[in-house]
Amino acid sequence: MQWSLLRTVDLVPAALVLTTIAAGAEGGKSAAPSEFLLVAQIVLLIAVGRGLGETMQRIGQPSVMGELLAGILLGPSLFGWIWPEAQQAIFPRAPEQKAMIDGIAQFGILLLLLLTGMETDLKLVRKVGKAAIAISIAGILVPFACGFALGEFLPDALLPNPQARLVASLFMGTALSISSVKIVAMVVREMNFMRRNVGQIIVATAVIDDTIGWIIIAVIFSLASQGTLDVASLAKAVLGTLAFLAVSFTIGRRLVFQLIRWANDTLVSTAPVVTVILLLMGAMALITHLIGVHTVLGAFVAGILVGESPILTRQIDERLRGLISSFFMPVFFGLAGLSADLSVLRDPNLLMLTGLLVVIASVGKFGGAFVGGTLGGLNYRESLALASGMNARGSTEVIIATIGLSIGVLSQNLFTMIVTMAILTTMAMPPMLRAALAKLPMSEDEKGRLEREEFEKRGFVANLERPLLAVDESVNATFAAHIAGLIAGKRGLPITVLHIGKRAEEQEKGRGAEESHEAVVKKAAGALSAHGEGDAGSVDVVTRARRAELGETIAAEARKGFDLLVVGVGKITAAKDRFDQTIEDIAAGFEGPLAIVAAKGKHLKQPTPDALNILVPISGSGVSKRGAEVAVALAQAGSGSLRVIYVATTRDKGAQRGASRGLSQEEGILKDASDLAARYDVDITTTLRVNRAPEAAILREIDTTDVDLVVMGVDRIQADHLSFGGVAGAVLGRSKVSVLLVSSGEAQQAPAEKA
């Protein structure tokens, strides 16, 4: 850490000297705006900001503090005090030159609010519910009242327009009541408390604070634009904001999802989804401007809607975050630091007022959050942790202060005071919150929930995001659509139906028909709504038809981010225990997990059954556990039964022992399966078959029970043709009931006999 800090400190003077010499030479040529100076300013802000941000992270502080301090060091507070000529040469006050980098910073504000919105987890807010709302209301009202009162008593010299004191007081109240959800979430996540009850309440409360704060800021902007308190203009701003929010979270939510999905699935240009997200942000920012409120509200709401999109892949998310974090954040926060002149605090009166501001802000927010936590049902320690977290203003406060300065609500000195308050409260929060969280005990109920969530985090079904269903015109395709609907419907996953048969285009056009595969998917998913299952019944189905060779079609779809391919075609196997060429071509074009459906028995007559009686063989291996997960998900999705049979295979002799000590390996593995089913309230029957060949044991269980579907987790075997091993091949060929083979994405080097 010391070497990193020294390296940053050594590089800064050298960069400043070189930039100053070049800036002086450039400035001597022309007084017009200089592109060279713009690039030099950006390079300096990024280099120093990112360097100090790295140092801050190494000492347990958010990196944004380093970026803000970089601006303060490069501005009049230090660099301008030590070498004013050089500072003026690099960052001249000429309006034309300043406007160039200010334009980048203003767009950066929108991107920062977009990112903040993407990190706003509304599901978390819904989950903790009333407690977070009650806590947030108390945590906003108390500091808002303190800030408003402070604004009413501020000296006229600190206000750019003393006649508009009401607007300034409202702005001060909002500035003191808001928290930085980004920094709060960072510390909570770092402490591994993001999934703890109190951690979720802290983050959810910060989310509500942020959301309410941006709405208030948007309305205050309208007031500031009018100059006076005009009831008609205020009503227009408030009603316009409410209408914008209502449309955004109803029609807009659906529209944003469809646009992102369309861009991801249709456009072939580079980073099409990122382009659409930026256009959405810009359009919503313009809409809020047209209704008379600040553009930041539009960008923030756009971020929330984008973050809720179910197909926002990790790669797209990281690409967008990388652009904002590495370029726009150091430029914006660096400029905010440049605008803050800490040298004015040498004035004892201003220093005293700044100290008073910090005290009022801290006591108001800490006290309000603590009281809110107590009223919301938290105990003393939990309320203390909540109050500690809520006191961080961080990046949010700096953005608000910058907006206040730009619209003329804040003077330069008042801006400096607020930025100072933001720095001090933010740097004090992490150690306070860490200390408060470290002392919190864990209840038994919370421990059980965390264990379940940790299991789901490592699971296969719980992490599915986008299934792809490939079907032809067969009865088996209808049964596969039913299976896919049950899997997708449990969590409301968007699903794409790809028609690959001889009448693919005809089937695509008939997707609205009652007997279509799309209708089967929606019917299977919709049946879950009767069980009150979360997002059940809200499955979004898109239809596509094969337009090229089968392998090319599957490969083209695979690039769109699907993480499971469910296959339902008329012919599964060919001669000599090999899969049909259609299955071979599909598997060759898709490298991820496959679910191959083979309808048999009564499912050929009734491919959309009301119940499934499922048998799942397990052996303790990873892929057999995947099969068990899918079987449990299908059993949970509808009525029926689930039977688990342990079979020993040659490859699984060294399979991991079950979680319960004192049991045999076989009993332990069955105990694990029972625990898995119990987590989802699924009743199961378990059977041990250790003295039979695995395929014989499975087929015997089929013959002696009333099961109608066998779910098997299998490995792809490296060979000159598609193979899942002898056990899977035997069961698929000789079973009298339907079979679902769920494969891993990677081919195994050695042949495997695995259930």
Residues 331 and 237 in one domain: yes
Evaluate whether residue 204 is within a structural domain.
yes
- Closest C-alpha among 724, 742, 709, 707 to residue 625: 742
Residues 426, 496 within the same domain? no
Distances (CA, A) of 246 to 118, 136, 255, 366: 18, 21, 14, 32
Q: Are residues 191 and 157 in the same domain?
A: yes
Assess whether 549 and 422 both reside in one domain.
no
395: three-class secondary structure by DSSP:
helix
Whether 653 has a pLDDT exceeding 50, the answer reads: no
List 613's β-bridge partners, or say none.
Answer: 641
pLDDT at 655: 43
Which residue in 453, 653, 658, 533 sits closest to 644, CA to CA?
A: 658
Residue 556 to residue 95: CA distance in whole angstroms? 51
Q: Is 576 left (phi over 0), alpha (psi -120 to 50) or beta?
A: left
Beta strands in 61-104 (DSSP E): none
* pLDDT band at residue 538 using 50, 70 and 90 as cut-offs: low
Within this chain, do residues 360 and 467 fall inside the same structural domain, yes or no?
no
Query: Long-range contacts for 89-98 (Cβ within 8 Å, ≥24 apart)?
Result: 89/20, 89/23, 89/24, 89/27, 90/16, 90/19, 90/20, 90/23, 90/37, 90/40, 90/41, 90/44, 91/41, 91/338, 92/27, 92/37, 94/31, 94/33, 96/32, 96/33, 97/33, 97/34, 97/37, 97/38
Question: Is residue 649 situated within a structural domain?
Answer: yes
The CATH code of the domain that includes 176 is 1.20.1530.20
Cα-Cα end-to-end distance for the chain: 51
Q: Which two tokens stand for residue 192?
A: 């591994």
Report pLDDT for 14: 52
- Residue 33 pLDDT greater than 80, yes or no: no
Residue 205 backbone phi and psi in degrees, to 5: -65, -40
Q: Based on the domain organization, do 261 and 319 belong to the same domain? A: yes
pLDDT band at 646 (very low <50, low <70, confident <90, very high): confident
pLDDT band at 508 (very low <50, low <70, confident <90, very high): low
Q: Are residues 622 and 539 in the same domain?
A: no
Q: Are strands 541-545 and 564-568 parallel, antiparallel or unpaired?
A: unpaired
Per mean pLDDT, which range of 149-158, 256-265, 429-438, 744-753 is the poorest? Answer: 744-753
Q: What is the mean pLDDT of residues 482-486?
A: 91
In a domain, 156, yes or no: yes
pLDDT at 603: 92
Structure confidence by residue, pLDDT tens digits, 580-613: 889 988 988 888 899 999 999 999 999 988 889 9
Quick: pLDDT tens for 395-417: 778 888 888 888 888 888 888 88
CATH code, domain carrying 634:
3.40.50.620
Give me the sign of the Cα torsion angle 152, 154, 159, 162. Answer: positive
Concatenating the DSSP letter of every residue in 126-169 gives: HHHTHHHHHHHHHHHHHHHHHHHHHHHHS-GGG-S-GGGHHHHH
Rounded Cα–Cα distance for residues 301 and 417 (Å): 29
The domain boundary, picked from 544, 561, 594, lies at: 594
Could you say which of 594, 628, 657 is where a domain stops? 594
Q: Confidence band (pLDDT; 50, 70, 90) for 1? A: very low
**pLDDT of residue 279 exceeding 80:** yes
pLDDT digits (tens, 9 = 90+) for 198-244: 777 877 787 777 778 777 877 777 777 665 556 666 777 778 888 88
Count other C-beta atoms under 10 Å from residue 621's C-beta.
22
- Token pair 């969280």 is found at 437
* Cα Rg of the chain (Å, integer): 31
Helix axes of 253-266 and 295-307: crossing angle, nearest 10 degrees: 60
Q: Give the strand pairing for 709-717 and 594-598.
A: unpaired
Note the residue count of the chain. Answer: 755
213 lies in the same domain as 302: yes
Q: Is a pLDDT exceeding 70 seen at residue 29?
A: no
**What is the pLDDT, as a whole number, of residue 456?**
67
Say whether pLDDT at 532 is over 50: no
Q: Which one-letter DSSP state was computed for residue 576?
A: T
Q: Which residues contact 705 (CB under 8 A, 6 or more apart)?
A: 613, 615, 643
Burial code of 155-178, b = ≥16 C-beta within 10 A, e = fewer?
eeebbbeeebeebbbbbbbbbbbb
Q: What is the 3-state secondary structure (H, E, C) of 299-367?
A: HHHHHHHHHCCCCCCHHHHHHHHHHHHHHHHHHHHHHHHHHCCHHHHHCHHHHHHHHHHHHHHHHHHHH
Q: What is the pTM of this model?
A: 0.72
Helix runs in 376-516, H state only: 380-390, 394-406, 412-438, 444-458, 475-489, 504-509
- On whether both 583 and 694 belong to a single domain, the answer is no
Percent of the chain topping pLDDT 90: 8
Indicate the residue among 438, 473, 492 that finishes a domain.
Answer: 438
pLDDT tens profile 372-382:
888 877 888 88
pLDDT given at position 6: 42
CA distance to 84, 216, 346, per residue, from 281 (Å): 39, 20, 42
For residue 8, tell me if it sits in a domain.
Answer: no
pLDDT mean over 741-753: 63
Phi (first) and psi of residue 541, to 5 degrees: -115, 130
User: What is the Cα–Cα distance from 391 to 394, expressed in whole angstroms?
Assistant: 9
Residues 568 and 625 reside in one and the same domain: no
* Per-residue pLDDT at 409: 84
In 3D space, the residue among 23, 46, 39, 31 whose CA is nearest the CA of residue 335 turns out to be: 46
Residue 602 counted as domain residue: no
Structure confidence at residue 19 as a pLDDT band (50, 70, 90): low
pLDDT in tens, 691-743: 568 888 899 889 888 899 999 988 888 777 888 888 888 899 889 999 999 98
**Total domains present in the chain:** 3
Residue type, 696: A
Q: How far apart are CA 517 and CA 479, in angstroms?
A: 9
Asked if residue 286 belongs to a domain, the reply is yes
Mean pLDDT for 570-575 is: 82
* Residue given tokens 């910060």 in the structure block: 206
The secondary structure of 252-309 as a DSSP string is IHHHHHHHHHHHHHH--SSSHHHHHHHHHHHHHHHHHHHTTS-HHHHHHHHHHHHHT-
Q: Which of 32-46, 107-121, 222-236 has the lowest mean pLDDT?
A: 222-236
Cβ atoms of 699 and 735 closer than 8 Å? yes
Answer whether residue 719 is part of any domain: yes
Structural domain range at position 753:
610-755
Q: Are residues 243 and 354 in the same domain?
A: yes
Whether 229 and 274 map to the same domain: the answer is yes
Q: Classify residue 414: in a domain, yes or no.
A: yes
Yes or no: say if 382 and 196 are a contact pair by the CB < 8 Å rule. Answer: no
Tell me the pLDDT band of 568, cut-offs 50, 70 and 90. very high
pLDDT of residue 661: 43
